[in-house]
Amino acid sequence: MLKSILTNLFLIFSITAVALAQPVKEWSVNAGMEGGFLTSPLLLDLYGPPQYPGSAYYGQEVFVSYAASSSSVLFQLKSNGTPINNIQFDSVIRSSPTGDYFANTGTAQILFGDSNGLCIVSSGLPQTVPCQAGIDAAPVLADLDTDDWQEIVAIDRMGNLYAWNLDDFSPTLVNGFPISLNSSVTLLNLAVGNIDPNSFPEIVAATDDSSLHVLNRFGEYLTGWPHSFGSAIVGSPVIGKIDNFSDGTRNIVVATADARIHVLRLSGGNIMGWPRQLSSSVDTSPILADIDLDNRLEIIVITSDAKVHALEQDGNPVQGWPVDLSAYIGGERANSLFMDPLVVDINGDYMVEVLAPISRNGVIVPIRADGDILEEWIISAGIDTFDTNIYHSHLQASPTISDIDYDGQLELVAATFAQIGGPGGINSPARVKCYELGPDPIGQPYLKPWPIYRQNVYRTGVQSGSGGGQGMAPNCGLFPERLSFLPNDEMVIDFALYANDLDSPSSSWTCSLNGATHLEIVQENNRTFRVINPDGWIGVEGVVGTVIDPDGLSCSSGFEIISGQKGDINGDQQQNLQDITIFGDLVLELIDNPTSYQIWSADINDDDLVTVQDLILLIDMLR
């Protein structure tokens, strides 16, 4: 509570956000000539008020791994670029760091992989958890069993999938892990999150044999998985709501080497209208964001012909897209030409921009939702001028955006790779750079929908929200449109399953669930509610769930709670011929004002339509 009060007072009285006309470089750190940064920076506040050891530690720390020929250094910098502690490793680190404050250990933990396995740094002290092979993908933090304690999920180069509990600084394997996926994994990250909102988080893994795997928290395959494509998977999978079904299930989005984007259901098949063929092979992982604020997620991906694509949910391009960036790539195409894009409002105009990072010269190109390029906001993170010399280094990983010094302005942190013998034969060192951007849209998460590699500091690859236009209260996450249970049963609603746009742990939330008149709602703890139907009532109740996090961010979501069952259209708690008669009246539009319950009960296959297919399923129920 004290932390929240101090933070809010600082934000209210000490910050005057400034709408800049262009980005401003705040600091630059020379990292050396022997290699460079292959990983995306992690920005994480190790302490937080009032626990800072001194005013110099105020703000978020920067963690990023520098790789040389056979060794690496984990850089830890203060928010002003001053070094805190650099840790040497005898292996090359390609895994972007993950981090969080673990309440059960009382410390912040930084996690990443190297050639020996999983690395954990706590209080400046590293430890290695040996694995069967090295780990190149970013570890993921996810509460697999919703007990408020994060598990560590990672996959090694041989395709062995791990899940650990972190108890008293000693990781212990979750029962059932590790699991072999029977194929190697080359720089493909996991996605971990709720595809089925009524279940626990699922684990999505792509392997080098063109297969996509979806497993539950016990390491068991879901029905319909693994799914094999006819072409290799390029880029890492992501999770988000693309289809328009109202059951709350999310989709898996993935790109393949044949220049196709796939949008898959929980059951394994592509949704209607997908896959979509793009203009050229795909360079990046897809990301998901509502760039035009129409309350629908778009899919953003960059192809090797230097085009940035933004696709609507039906697969058609957003008006003004794709955007051609061939003028910015500096001549011949280089390997790994583009890094994964980000989506943030960088200039304070209350509209988001897509940031396309280019390897050559570390150029980062911002694109408006209408496809126009903001020329004055282009950042060249890999170009430096000293005296009369111009130095060129390159990006090998996406930058990261956050308000690292809590001054009310966003900052972009980028880390480059050294170039030996650049233009004019000049050797250029690798650097970590920080640029000040526009105001931080505090309390408006829809203006920062993808600010970091893999969407969040946990590296889950999940886009929880489905958008939120200007003037709308932003959603905390993807609450389903409706939840249902049998009339004589009970239902538990756990907000931790849905309000996962919030970065704070669910144990710190203040939650409420209001609006029910026929049902009894009992709050069991700060985030869990039990819905009871003592009178066996059948129907639909509209409720509103609200979450307030420790920093005072309040977000709400309205949804329906349904007491009843599919096929019981007349509400007599059984499926019979009377239900078929009412079904026919619904289809023939003989019922003037059908109730929400009648429509829901008659829609047996949950496709938001009442059709002959539902009638066939209803008849099958009667047999």
Q: In residues, how long is the chain?
A: 623
Write out the two tokens for 246: 């109202």
In which band, very low, low, confident or very high, does the pLDDT at 100 lie, cut at 50, 70 and 90? confident
> Following DSSP, what letter does each residue of 536-566 receive, concatenated?
---EEEEEEEEEE-TT--EEEEEEEEEES-T
Report DSSP state, residue 506. Answer: G
**Which of 81-85, 398-402, 585-589 is predicted most confidently?**
398-402
Query: Any idea which residue has 């996450």 for tokens?
Result: 477
Comparing CA positions, the residue from 304, 452, 329 lying closest to residue 382 is: 329
Do 29 and 1 meet the contact criterion of CB atoms below 8 Å apart?
A: no
> Over the range 353-365, which residues count as b (16 or more CB within 10 Å of their CB) and which as e?
bbbbbbbbbbbbb
Work out the average pLDDT over 307-319: 91
Work out the average pLDDT over 457-478: 59
Mean pLDDT of the chain: 84
Do 480 and 559 meet the contact criterion of CB atoms below 8 Å apart?
A: yes
pTM to 2 decimals? 0.72
Comparing CA positions, the residue from 539, 191, 222 lying closest to residue 340 is: 191
Which pLDDT belongs to residue 85?
Answer: 84
Tell me which of 454 and 554 has the higher pLDDT. Answer: 454
- Beta strand 394-395 pairing with 170-173: unpaired
CA atoms of 209 and 224, how far apart (whole Å): 17
Do 338 and 356 meet the contact criterion of CB atoms below 8 Å apart?
A: yes
Write out the two tokens for 585: 């009246």
> Following DSSP, what letter does each residue of 70-137 receive, concatenated?
S-EEEEEE-TTS-B---EEESS---SPPEEEEETTTTEEEEEEEETTEEEEEETTEEEEEE-SS---S
Work out the average pLDDT over 27-40: 86
Distances in Å between the alpha carbon of 564 and those of 278, 489, 490, 539?
44, 10, 12, 7
Task: Give the orientation angle of helix 577-587 with respect to helix 612-622, to 10 degrees.
Answer: 180
Work out the average pLDDT over 363-385: 91
The CA-CA-CA angle for residues 491, 494, 105, to 5°, reads: 140
- Beta strand 554-563 pairing with 482-485: parallel
Work out the average pLDDT over 519-527: 91
Which pLDDT belongs to residue 393?
Answer: 84
Q: Is the pLDDT of residue 311 over 50?
A: yes
Q: Is the pLDDT of residue 353 over 70?
A: yes
CA atoms of 608 and 313, how far apart (whole Å): 17
Report DSSP state, residue 245. Answer: -
Assigned CATH topology for domain 482-622: Immunoglobulin-like (2.60.40)
Write out the two tokens for 109: 């933990």
Report DSSP state, residue 416. Answer: E
CA atoms of 137 and 156, how far apart (whole Å): 7
CA atoms of 105 and 177, how far apart (whole Å): 23
Domain boundaries, the chain: 482-622
Three-state DSSP class for 496? helix
Do 294 and 300 meet the contact criterion of CB atoms below 8 Å apart?
A: no
Work out the average pLDDT over 161-178: 86
Please report which helix (H) or strand (E) contains residue 388, including its range: none
CA atoms of 484 and 348, how far apart (whole Å): 41
Do 598 and 586 meet the contact criterion of CB atoms below 8 Å apart?
A: yes
Please report which helix (H) or strand (E) contains residue 147, including its range: none
Q: Is the pLDDT of residue 186 over 80?
A: yes
The 3 state secondary structure assigned to 513-540 is: EECCCCCEEEECCCCEEEEECCCCCCEE
Distances in Å between the alpha carbon of 496 and those of 334, 527, 551?
43, 7, 17
Tell me which of 271 and 309 has the higher pLDDT. Answer: 309
For 242-259, what is each residue's pLDDT tens digit?
Answer: 987 766 789 999 999 999
Tell me which of 366 and 69 has the higher pLDDT. Answer: 366
- Within 22-68, residue ranges assigned H as helices are none
Write the burial class of residue 448 (CB in 10 Å: 0-12 exposed, 13-18 middle, 19+ buried): buried
Work out the average pLDDT over 285-311: 90
